[in-house]
Every structure is written in C-alpha cells, then in structure tokens.
Chains A and B, each alone.
Chain A
Amino acid sequence: MPKPYMRKMPATWWLTKRAYFWFMMRELTAVFVGAYCVLLLVLVWKLKQGSPAFGPVMDWLQTPWSIGFHFIALVAALYHALTWFALLPKVIVIRVGEEKLPPILLVGAHWLLWAIVTAGLVWIVFFK
C-alpha cells in the first residue's frame, strides 16, 4: 500500500514569505490596539474618579515609557487602518448594473472620514 508523504508546516511559516510576514504584522497590531483600549479604559476610570486620582495618570502620560508606547500604538493603529480600508472593497461589493464600483472610492471615502474624525477630535479637545 503506497504511503503518501505528509509535509509538516513549520511554526515559523509566517517568516518564510514577505506576504505572510506582513499579514502577521497586521494581526499583531491587535495586541497594541487592545492594550491601548485597556489603557483608555483606565484613563476614563481615573478621570471619573476626580482630579486627585487623575493627576498621577497625567504624570505617567508624560513619561518616556508612555510616549514610547503611544508612538508604537499609533503606528500599529495606523497600519491596522491602512490594511482595513484597503481590504474593504473585497468584503463589500457595490454593484452598479454590471460594473463594480471602483475600489478607490470606498477606500478614499474611509480615509476622508478618518481625516475628519482625527482633525475633529484634535480640534474639539485643544481648540474649542
């Protein structure tokens, strides 16, 4: 009885190809985004507790550790947004008759929305 040969996929499969590597990087953004959400939750909690509780939070935000973490988290969140918007046209197909809506419209609309939200938040917090 001839026996077929089974090749095992190595645990380092995602290091063998550029596309796989960037896929894993995209997935790992979830670690930083999730960590930030937990941080945001703590921030909001301390804010609600009042000024004495919030003071140490503000102090911590000014430490190099915090700045460093937020910088990395921002890069991760932006890479998530970049890949998320780029893949949207594959998930949501909008047809007009026989033709598909050009993907760039869906992607562009989301980046526009992103820009409005970002500018809006910065303006409301610091300039209003």
Chain B
Amino acid sequence: MNETIQLEIFRYHPDKDSEPSFQTFEVPYREDWVVLDAINWIKDNVDGSLTYRWSCRMGVCGSCGMMVNGTPKLSCAAFLKNYLPGPIRVEPLNNFPVERDLVIVLDSFMEKLQSVKPYLIRQPGQEKPISEGEYRQSPAELAKYKQFSMCINCMLCYAACPVMGLDPEFLGPAAIALGMRYNLDSRDQAKSDRMEVIASHEAIWQCTFVGECSVVCPKNVDPAGAIQQAKFQSMLNLLMPWSK
C-alpha cells in the first residue's frame, strides 16, 4: 500500500532564476487522485508559490495541460495510480516558452487560432435575414466537421509535435484543424480565404505526419487527419480547379 508518491516538478521564476530546476515533493497517494490533485495539495500545504493553470478539473476547459513523464497530458486526466511507484516528472508543455513554473506563454497559439478566421463567414449579399430563419444543416453535413469542432485548445498537440519544436512558426495541429472545421461547415463560404492561410508555406506543408498530435489529443479531434485531408484537398484543388 502506497502512502505517498513523489512528484519532481519543474520550477522557474523569471525574476530570480536564470535556469530552471526541479523540486521534489512527497505527496499523499490516493487511489482516485490525478496529478492536478497532487499539485493542488502541494500548493495548499507545502509551497504556495507553485504556479500552474487549471480550471474545470474534468477535461473540458483545456487549461491544465503539462508534460507528465515526458508525455503531454491534461493534469486533471493523469491518474497517480498509472504512474506508480513514481516519481512523477511534471514539466510545462514542450515547445512553448516558460513564463513561470508550469505556466507557458501562449500568445503565439492565440495568434495562430485567430489567423485561420475561426468563425462562419458569408459572402457579401449572402447573409440570410432573420426573417428567413436559421441556416439548416443535415446530420450528414454536421458529421463532416463535427470531430474537428471538439477541440478544447489545450495545446497538448503542439507539445507533442516535433515540427513545433523545430519551427515555432508552424501553424500547428489545433489551428489547422480549427480552420478545417470551418471549411467543412456547409454554412461557411470562405473556404478559399482560409485555404490561403492553411495551405501556406508555414502551415500544412511543414507537417510530416508524425501523428503524435492525434495520439495525445484528449478529445479525439484527430488534427493529424485534418492536416492530411487539407493536403489532399489542396492537391484536388490544383488538379481540378473547377471543383472548388
């Protein structure tokens, strides 16, 4: 019976440290605890300066992404019992600059999301007046993009992607999947505008289909699939421009 388990946590204070370090904490082991519970216990009982993001603690908000034993995970979804006997190494998400402790700088991620115009766009004169009712969509039309709409912006995919590590300008899995979500939405009319961003040099063509983004995604968005489908679509657009 395990009474405690050790966590080795990445510490970095921008004003005090020039290099990060690891601090080991002995935490109570509970059968039903996740890494987030352990970190919260540390902050409440041992070191109140430990800094990290979290919110819903149930895998829907996307706030608590971190590296757990080298794999990007939501800390609210990483059960301590799966890491016995420990120690568990907890680090900020890979491929992002570290603000402090487990908090990463995500400005570039936000910019990338915005760059794919993640909202429905109607062509001029094509906006339906309220009196004509809603834009209707069949279940089959919904099915085309539904999977890509499940993204919670947790950035685990960016942490898992080696291309992100090699090239911080890479548009990345979540942003491309988000772009595809709108391109495949029957209510949207801005496919070619978005394809300009998605099919640009720093976007889908940097992807080498490692596939780890889809493996770590907690919501089964399959961003790798979205990117390959975008490449295939780009090829079809080139070979058959009339079918766009």
Within the complex, what minimum Cβ distance (angstroms) separates B38 from chain A?
A: 23
Within the complex, what minimum Cβ distance (angstroms) separates B150 from chain A?
A: 15
Contacts of B231 on A, CB cut-off 8 Å?
A: 91
Task: Determine whether the beta carbon of B98 is less than 8 Å from that of A2.
Answer: no
Contacts of A4 on B, CB cut-off 8 Å?
A: 14, 97-99, 105
Task: Determine whether the beta carbon of B140 is less than 8 Å from that of A97.
Answer: yes
Task: Determine whether the beta carbon of B212 is less than 8 Å from that of A95.
Answer: no
Contacts of A23 on B, CB cut-off 8 Å?
A: 162, 208, 210-212
Specify which of A5, A13, A20, A99 is in contact with B14 (CB 8 Å cutoff). A5
Interface size (B, Cβ < 8 Å)? 36
With A4-B14, A19-B215, A20-B212 known as contacts, the answer to whether A95 contacts B98 (CB < 8 A) is no
Chain A stretch 88-125: residues in CB contact (< 8 A) with chain B: 90-93, 95, 97-99
Interface size (A, Cβ < 8 Å)? 24
Within the complex, what minimum Cβ distance (angstroms) separates B231 from chain A?
A: 7
Specify which of B97, B162, B212, B225 is in contact with A6 (CB 8 Å cutoff). B97
| In the assembled complex, B143 has its CB within 8 A of some CB on chain A | yes
Within the complex, what minimum Cβ distance (angstroms) separates A8 from chain B?
A: 9
Contacts of B229 on A, CB cut-off 8 Å?
A: 90-91, 93
| In the assembled complex, A48 has its CB within 8 A of some CB on chain B | no
Q: Type the 1/0 row for B188-221, where 1 means its CB is closer than 8 Å to any CB of A.
A: 0000000000000000000011111011000000
Point out which of A14, A19, A27 has the most chain B C-beta atoms below 10 A from its C-beta: A19
| In the assembled complex, A16 has its CB within 8 A of some CB on chain B | yes
Task: Determine whether the beta carbon of A19 is less than 8 Å from that of B232.
Answer: no
Please name the residue on chain A nearest to B97 by beta carbon: A4
Please name the residue on chain A nearest to B92 by beta carbon: A7
| In the assembled complex, B181 has its CB within 8 A of some CB on chain A | no
With A2-B14, A17-B70, A23-B210 known as contacts, the answer to whether A9 contacts B215 (CB < 8 A) is no
> With A and B bound together, what is the CA distance between A6 and B14 in angstroms?
11
| In the assembled complex, B94 has its CB within 8 A of some CB on chain A | yes
| In the assembled complex, A128 has its CB within 8 A of some CB on chain B | no
Contacts of A78 on B, CB cut-off 8 Å?
A: none
Task: Determine whether the beta carbon of B97 is less than 8 Å from that of A87.
Answer: no
Chain B stretch 60-82: residues in CB contact (< 8 A) with chain A: 70
Sample (20) of A-B pairs whose CB atoms are under 8 Å apart: A4-B14, A4-B99, A5-B17, A5-B20, A5-B98, A9-B162, A9-B166, A13-B165, A16-B70, A20-B212, A23-B162, A23-B212, A87-B228, A90-B222, A90-B224, A90-B225, A95-B143, A98-B140, A98-B142, A99-B143
Contacts A5-B97, A90-B222, A90-B229 aside, 10 further interface pairs with beta carbons under 8 A come to A2-B14, A3-B14, A6-B98, A9-B165, A91-B228, A93-B225, A97-B143, A98-B139, A98-B140, A98-B142
Binding site for A on B (CB under 8 A): 12, 14-15, 17, 19-20, 70, 94-95, 97-100, 105, 139-140, 142-144, 162, 165-166, 208-212, 214-215, 222, 224-225, 228-229, 231-232
| Closest 3 pairs (CB-CB, A-B) | A9-B165, A4-B97, A2-B14
